[in-house]
Structure 1
Amino acid sequence: MGRLIDAAHGRRAAVCHRQREVSSVHHNRSARLVILAGVIAAILLIVAGTTLYLRPGQDPLTVSGGFGEQPRVTFAEGERPGEDLVAETVIAGNGVVAAQDDLAVVQFASYAWTGTSHRQLDSSHGQDRPAVMRIGELVPGLNKGLIGKKTGSRVVVSIPPKDGYGATGNPQEGVTGADTLIYVVDLLATYPTTASARGRAGPADPALPQVVSAPAGGPPTVTIPASDPPDQLRVRTLIEGAGPIIRADHMLITHYQGQVWRNGKVFDSSWSRGEVAPLSSLTGTIAGIGKGLTGQKVGSRVLLVIPPKDGYGKGAPQPGIKKDDTVVFVVDILGAY
């Protein structure tokens, strides 16, 4: 969870096509045919969930397969990709519109293409969970291509070098300065920075920190009692959501805030950073988070009071957590995959 709890997230957050984190989003399977004539340069065919994407003279390729499935992508031999950014919705969803700074949960496949050769770069299909992409932190062309698209949609984005990695490419990702990037992205869900828990308020416990909600997108105000902290893990469901029950192996989408009981210092907060945070799994975080969130429901806000033995037993000097510090977390569980 965020910077301190889910270390793996920090390594993956800025990577444009290697993030793994899936909700059940229904898609519309429509049938439409655009017949090309003269200067018209696109064919889009959707039949029973199978799509055909062909742009003669620009991006001659076909993409087929149903939403959420591994796409089948065929590149026309001898044809070169176009020089302009192209983003086409080949399966139209009817969900919310993706926006700048949203955290998108996706299935995707990416390719590098020069016209004379092509190769697959990455794919989330076949993994145990979907990927996450933070719109605004991807290569420019992919950011532009996803903004304004609806969840439940399959989007094909053709990204020329000027909108991708530029003339230098990205050797670490196996991309040269001549490669056009092709992304096939299924938008499963998106979470804006203002996402918050929604449900029925639970009873307060006067012996525990008191939590007052802020407007959507803002951090809650947490008042910690002057008394000594409890020596056992305490879990309080402040808002009970109506979503699925959390398992230990779930990837979660969250907003959260962590504080030190001793002085009330906030040492980590996704709300303050203005970003919804993925938590790769409850088995990879501190014990109190895993124990406290397992069995909760999506949509809930949970208060966790975590003693050192279930938290940072050896301390965490950089954020000012001592080895005997009890920590307090407020977590909004926004999604689980």
Structure 2
Amino acid sequence: MFDLPATADATTPAASPCPSAAPATPGAPEWTLSGATGSIAVTGSTDTAAPVVDVQGPFSVTETQVQTLKAGDGPVVPETATVSVCYMGVNGRDGSVFDSSYQSGSPVDFPLDGVIPGFQKAIAGQKVGSTVAVAMTSADGYAEGQPAAGIQKGDTLIFAIKILEASN
């Protein structure tokens, strides 16, 4: 057997809810933010492309900020929900991607009460189906750093997140 190239038409579902390919043309950012230092421009994911987080750094914020890039039409996500999401995490210090479910093409499930505070702040209160971005302070991320991920103490983190499902 051999794999045939995929063809896209109105009846073909996307291969993955977390597309790994960067967009051919990112288009205009859905969120731009000037920080205490530096700035970011975020373009959310689509059905066929991963998000783009452009960092002019070093980027930092003094207060965690959440932006809805595309509002969903599902139920509101409670603070204690278990969610299924696609996400990309970017370090504001150097613009590097330190973690991404888009790279694997598979969503990740986790309880919101078991994640870093900034991630919970970004998702709780949003509607299922929404695409959101968050720029979080070090205190809402990894206050003491996360060396294995290249995160240093004091680093501001940016996440682009697509909320696929939520359950209690």
Q: TM-score, normalised by structure 2?
A: 0.75
Query: Greater relative contact order: 1 or 2 (C-alpha under 8 angstroms, separation 6 or more)?
Result: 2
Match of 1:194 among 11, 17, 31: 17
Amino acid in structure 2 at the alignment position of 1:301: T
CA contact (8 A) 1:217 1:271 kept: no
Ranges in structure 2 where 5+ consecutive residues have no aligned partner: 1-13, 20-28
Q: CA RMSD in A?
A: 2.3
Distance in 2, Cα, partners of 1:294 & 1:246: 5
Partner of 1:321: 151
Distance in 1, Cα, partners of 2:134 & 2:96: 15
SS of residue matched to 2:56? coil
Pair 1:307-2:137 in alignment: yes
Q: What does 1:143-162 correspond to in 2, within 5 Å?
A: none
CA contact (8 A) 1:218 1:272 kept: no
Pair 1:256-2:87 in alignment: yes
Q: What does 1:215-254 correspond to in 2, within 5 Å?
A: 216-226=47-57, 228-254=59-85
TM-superposed CA distance for 1:226, in Å, is 3.3
Q: What does 1:1-337 correspond to in 2, within 5 Å?
A: 193-194=16-17, 204-207=31-34, 209-213=40-44, 216-226=47-57, 228-279=59-110, 281-337=111-167
SS of residue matched to 1:241? coil
Amino acid in structure 2 at the alignment position of 1:270: S
TM-superposed CA distance for 1:211, in Å, is 2.0
- Equivalent pairs counted in the alignment come to 141
SS of residue matched to 2:151? coil
SS of residue matched to 1:291? helix
CA contact (8 A) 1:308 1:324 kept: yes
Distance in 2, Cα, partners of 1:235 & 1:259: 15
Amino acid in structure 2 at the alignment position of 1:275: S
Q: 1:192 to 1:295 in 2, by over 3 A?
A: farther
Distance in 2, Cα, partners of 1:213 & 1:205: 12
Distance in 2, Cα, partners of 1:195 & 1:319: 21
Ranges in structure 1 where 5+ consecutive residues have no aligned partner: 1-190, 197-201
Distance in 1, Cα, partners of 2:17 & 2:30: 24
SS of residue matched to 1:252? strand
Higher-Rg member (1/2): 1
Runs of 4+ in 1 over 4 A off after TM superposition: none
TM-superposed CA distance for 1:214, in Å, is 5.4
Partner of 1:12: none
Distance in 2, Cα, partners of 1:308 & 1:293: 18
Percent identity for Structure 1 against Structure 2: 32
SS of residue matched to 1:225? strand
Q: 1:195 to 1:227 in 2, by over 3 A?
A: closer
TM-superposed CA distance for 1:194, in Å, is 3.0
Q: 1:227 to 1:312 in 2, by over 3 A?
A: closer
